[in-house]
Structure 1
Amino acid sequence: MLKRLISLWVWVSVSLVALFWVPWLAFLYVLTATRDPGRYTVGRWFRRAAVVCTKLNPMWRFRTTGVRIHDPRRPYVAVANHESFADIFLLSHLPWEMKFLSKESIFKIPVMGWMMRMAGDVAVRRGDVTSRAAALEACRDRLAKRVSVMIMPEGTRSADGQLQKFHDGAFRLAVETGCPILPIAVAGTRAAITKGSWMVGRATAVARVLEPIETTGLTLADVPALRERVRGAIAEARATLLRELQTA
């Protein structure tokens, strides 16, 4: 019963923060539209809403570690493993802006979807080749405007907690644009929100930023090796983080 009450509070607080944030984001969107075509400012404030929601949640303890990004306007193709819907809340704690590639259904959620569109996040429809192509083109647009993009190359949350295979899209994008890959390992969010449930669980989670991997000079023939190199780095870092969380 207590868990249900806490979960209800969490989602009510998320809704209240979202309702408060919408007019502020709309104001910033209008104010910065001409001088900030990459919507960096609006995006940063949108991520701050996720941080506020996390602080209002007594069940979650989230933090970030790893490599520091000294130039937040250098565009990266950031890739992370996907454990839970709560990954979005965790990754929003990183101190620079990234546009998230997210499934189209999330953009249809009232208020949340409005904010995502104002922030410049990118929608994609699963299983639709045309939608995937349009989404990657939108990602190229964000990178050209000196804003990083966040892609979870597993494509969907892991059902069993094991790291799934990575798809090529993010790595092709990085090679084609010449942007470096920024690997990020996520651990601990699986317990925060169980797949298929609205219940919120107690979770301590970490996102660790790994060393960027340059793509200058690579061709599309190098994509499979690049993909597996990044997956291996994330798998190793994630395993380390899980051990650290277990012994903490």
Structure 2
Amino acid sequence: MRIADKALGVYTYVEFGACVTALLPVIAASRLRHRADPTLRMPARWAQRVGRAASFLTPLWRVTIEGDVPPDISSKAYVVVANHESEADPFLLACLPWEMRWVVKEELFKIPVVGWAMNLAGEIPLRRGDGPSVRAMLTECERAIAVGMSVMIFPEGTLTKNRDHLAFRDGAFDLAIRTGAPVLPVAVSGTDAMLPRRSFWIGRGRGTARILEPIPTAHLTPDDVGTLRDRTRDVIVAARTELEAKRSGRPAPTQPRTENGSMRDHM
């Protein structure tokens, strides 16, 4: 990595901290002002603006959103799911033009300032592998969906390894079927260069999030969880493969490699 890019990476950390610190009082005030709103839509909107501002202010990143936004997403809840290739994914997905509550690993809430902002914005904690935590998370997601607020879940449960896709877990799809909320798949590509795995340094890269066609669940039953899960995974894998081929200038392979075999610029 060039010295100039390292310097810009340090700047990016500083400006992100500045964005969170500057907007934390605004998020807190919004939470207080809209405390009677069960959707927590306005605090969520301000929290996502942190990610958008941080993405916009770093010269190392360029973010692009592709695809059509569901026209009813401001009034109808969706279960939004995306592949997870980097810790930079939330910055990219924060640029999606709608509010949603995020399922976030519990340990992030312990980070000063950042954790406070997530708590005030109504993000939903999850302790992976802990049954009571998973059930509490799903209950809170159901409450959000019941009042018309979309939720954002990474169904792989953790970062992908070696650019491969992990198996999707059932939780998001069981939630969608039980609540009747459509699944909204989003394919993420390019963020592994923006914040590489196991690296302290922020890299130079272009991240793209492609909004895919919603998948209705109104007539599905619990027996359809696996089918819905696999269908969603298939469309995300295909779209991500296409995005990566487009970025590299190579034709997309007919069979994308997976681990388990199974715009708008600067919004």
Deviation at 1:5, TM superposition (A): 1.6
The equivalent of 1:159 in structure 2 is 161
Deviation at 1:113, TM superposition (A): 0.8
- Please give the alpha-carbon distance, in whole angstroms, between the structure 2 residues aligned to 1:11 and 1:121: 22
Instruction: State how 1:81-230 maps to structure 2 within 5 Å.
Output: 81-230=83-232
Q: State the secondary structure of the residue aligned to 1:240.
A: helix
1:166-195 deviation line (CA, Å, top 9, x unaligned)? 000000000000110001100110111112
The equivalent of 1:39 in structure 2 is 40
TM-score computed with the length of structure 1 as normaliser = 0.97
Q: State the secondary structure of the residue aligned to 1:185.
A: strand
Say if 2:176 and 2:183, in contact at 8 Å, map to a contact too. Answer: yes
Say if 1:7 and 1:198, in contact at 8 Å, map to a contact too. Answer: no
Say if 1:184 and 1:207, in contact at 8 Å, map to a contact too. Answer: yes
Deviation at 1:196, TM superposition (A): 2.2
Deviation at 1:69, TM superposition (A): 2.0
Displacement over 3 Å in runs of 4+: none
What do you get for the CA RMSD once the two structures are aligned?
Answer: 1.1
- Please give the alpha-carbon distance, in whole angstroms, between the structure 1 residues aligned to 2:154 and 2:90: 11
Amino acid at match of 1:226: L
Deviation at 1:4, TM superposition (A): 2.4
- Please give the alpha-carbon distance, in whole angstroms, between the structure 2 residues aligned to 1:141 and 1:57: 36
The equivalent of 2:69 in structure 1 is 68
Say if 1:181 and 1:213, in contact at 8 Å, map to a contact too. Answer: yes
TM-score computed with the length of structure 2 as normaliser = 0.90
Amino acid at match of 1:105: E
- Please give the alpha-carbon distance, in whole angstroms, between the structure 1 residues aligned to 2:116 and 2:147: 21
Say if 1:3 and 1:199, in contact at 8 Å, map to a contact too. Answer: no
Deviation at 1:133, TM superposition (A): 0.8
Which consecutive residues of structure 1, in runs of 5 or more, have no partner in the other structure?
none
Q: 2:7 aligns with which of 5, 8, 11?
A: 5
The equivalent of 2:21 in structure 1 is 19
Q: % of aligned pairs identical? A: 40
Deviation at 1:93, TM superposition (A): 0.5
The equivalent of 1:241 in structure 2 is 243
Which consecutive residues of structure 2, in runs of 5 or more, have no partner in the other structure?
251-267
- Please give the alpha-carbon distance, in whole angstroms, between the structure 2 residues aligned to 1:233 and 1:247: 21
1:193-212 deviation line (CA, Å, top 9, x unaligned)? 11222210111111011111
Number of matched residues? 247
Deviation at 1:120, TM superposition (A): 1.0
The equivalent of 1:80 in structure 2 is 82
